[in-house]
Structure formats: C-alpha cells, structure tokens
A and B are shown apart, each in its own frame.
Chain A
Amino acid sequence: DIQMTQSPSSLSASVGDRVTITCRASQSISSYLNWYQQKPGKAPKLLIYAASSLQSGVPSRFSGSGSGTDFTLTISSLQPEDFATYYCQQSYSTPWGFGQGTRLEIK
C-alpha cells in the first residue's frame, strides 16, 4: 500500500498569512493526488484534484503543486473560514489512502 505523510501535523497561522502544507507519498504517484478540507463535525470537501486542478467553486487562494512523491497545498492569504483540517489522498492505486491530516489553527 502507498503511504501518505503530511507535514506539519498542526500549524498556527494568522488571517492574511500564506500557508503551505506538504504531502509525501511512499512511492511515485505521478499527479494522482487530491486535497480535501474538513471542518469539525462536517464531511470533507474536495479542494484540489490531480495535484493542481482547482475544484469548481473553490476560491483561487487555494493552489496545489507537485508530482511524483512530493506535493504541496498553498493558501495564499488565509481567511477566517480556512481554519480547518486538510487531508491529502492518493488516487494512483487502491487502497486510496489519505494522509494523517494537518490541523490549521488560528494564531
């Protein structure tokens, strides 16, 4: 199985900050990488698919990059509604595993 590792596990930032979250795969997954946002008590929401494609309706301050084993999710200017937990997911091969999550908290 492909293991997905996110860093950091948690992060404190302020409104307006630029934030980057990293996801590393245990083997090359080309660009088969998705990012989700989850708020407490809610289902995950798809933000980015295929490593860098923005899902419809997602604000342009979110962006994704990377290929192979190393990927990043960047939020260019944090907004109050962005404080949540973020997960990466590989869709290269089943089982379609997720990273352990990165909790983004208000500083």
Chain B
Amino acid sequence: QVQLVQSGAEVKKPGASVKVSCKASGYTFTSYDINWVRQATGQGLEWMGWMNPNSGNTGYAQKFQGRVTMTRNTSISTAYMELSSLRSEDTAVYYCARTIIRGDEVAFDIWGQGTMVTVSS
C-alpha cells in the first residue's frame, strides 16, 4: 500500500543538526512532492517546506530559511529533512507528507508516522 515510513526518534544537543528520513513505497516517488510539517507537543501543525523529488527543487517557509535543507535519494525513494542550529524550541514531532494536486488545488494525502526530535542539553 501507499505509505511513508520515517526514521526513528532523535535526541540532540542545542546547536547540533538532525536529519530525518522519509521512505516512500507503493507509488512512484518522483511523481509527488514531499512536504515537511512539524508539531510541538500539545501544539498545532507548522508547515516547514516542500521538495520536488524529481527535480530536487525546494521551497522553505521563511521561518526556517537558512536552517533547513530538504533533499532526496531517488534510487531508494527516500526524502530527507535536515534542520541545523537546533534549539529547545525545535523539540517537536516532524512529519513528511505527500502532496496531491487536484486541478490546481494542493493537499497532503499521505503522511508519515512522525519522528520525535528532542533538543536538550
């Protein structure tokens, strides 16, 4: 079935970087954009950016510009999100999500299970 499977939980110190993976299966990886969304404990959803797995083109939310990098390895149908200069406020669950486009409408139809990233000294 169509699914996105993410890497496991991470614990990082302030100032470090984290790289989360998102492996796609059940569909053609390069045919759908991948987005990253995070959620701090008890809080709402925050969109971080998107990546086109075919071209490698990316678009990041202004808030994360300069700190986030989204990449992919098409040979293993896997997308990556790397966040650098981590601070305590980056402690959250990070989700990858597949984009569907219906006409010119965009939505996120398949989500990974989430990866907990804890930033603590």
Query: Is the CB–CB distance between A44 and B44 below 8 Å?
Result: no
Question: In the complex the two chains form, is B106's CB within 8 Å of A91's CB?
Answer: yes
Taken residue by residue from 71 to 107, chain A's Cβ proximity to chain B (1 for < 8 Å, 0 otherwise) reads as 0000000000000000101010011111111000000
Contact of B108 among A46, A94, A99, A100 (CB under 8 A): A46
Does any Cβ of B come within 8 Å of A69's Cβ? no
Main SS of the interface on chain B? strand
Are the CB atoms of B62 and A95 closer together than 8 Å?
yes
Whether the Cβ atoms of B108 and A50 lie closer than 8 Å is no
Asked, given contacts A43-B95, A43-B114, whether A95 binds B105 with beta carbons under 8 Å apart, the answer is: no
State whether the Cβ of B45 lies closer than 8 Å to any Cβ in chain A.
yes
List residues of chain B with CB within 8 A of the CB of A94.
47, 50, 59, 61
Residues of A within 8 A of B95 (CB): 43-44
User: For the side of the interface on B, what is the size category?
Assistant: 20 to 34
The answer to whether A43 touches B112 (Cβ under 8 A) is yes
A31 within 8 A of B: yes
Residues of B near A32 (CB, < 8 A) are: 105-106
| A-contact 0/1 string along B85-121, CB 8 Å cutoff | 0000000000101001011011111011110000000
Which one of B61, B102, B106, B108 contacts A95 once the chains associate, using CB atoms below 8 Å?
B61
Among the interface residues B37, B45, B63, which one has the most CB atoms of the partner chain A within 10 A? B45
Q: Quick one: which of B47, B59, B113 has the most chain A CB within 10 A? A: B47
- Chain A neighbourhood of B62, CB < 8 A: 1, 95
- A32 nearest in chain B by CB position: B105
Q: How large is the interface on A (under 10, 10 to 19, 20 to 34, 35 or more residues)?
A: 20 to 34
Q: Which of B44, B61, B112 contacts A87 (CB 8 A)?
A: B44
A31 CB contacts on chain B under 8 angstroms: 105
Give chain B's interface residues, CB within 8 Å of chain A.
35, 37, 44-47, 50, 59, 61-63, 95, 97, 100, 102-103, 105-109, 111-114
The 5 closest A-B pairs by CB, nearest first: A43-B111, A49-B107, A91-B106, A50-B105, A98-B45
A–B Cβ pairs within 8 angstroms, 16 of them: A1-B62, A31-B105, A32-B105, A43-B112, A44-B37, A44-B111, A45-B111, A46-B109, A49-B105, A55-B107, A89-B107, A89-B108, A91-B106, A98-B45, A100-B44, A101-B45
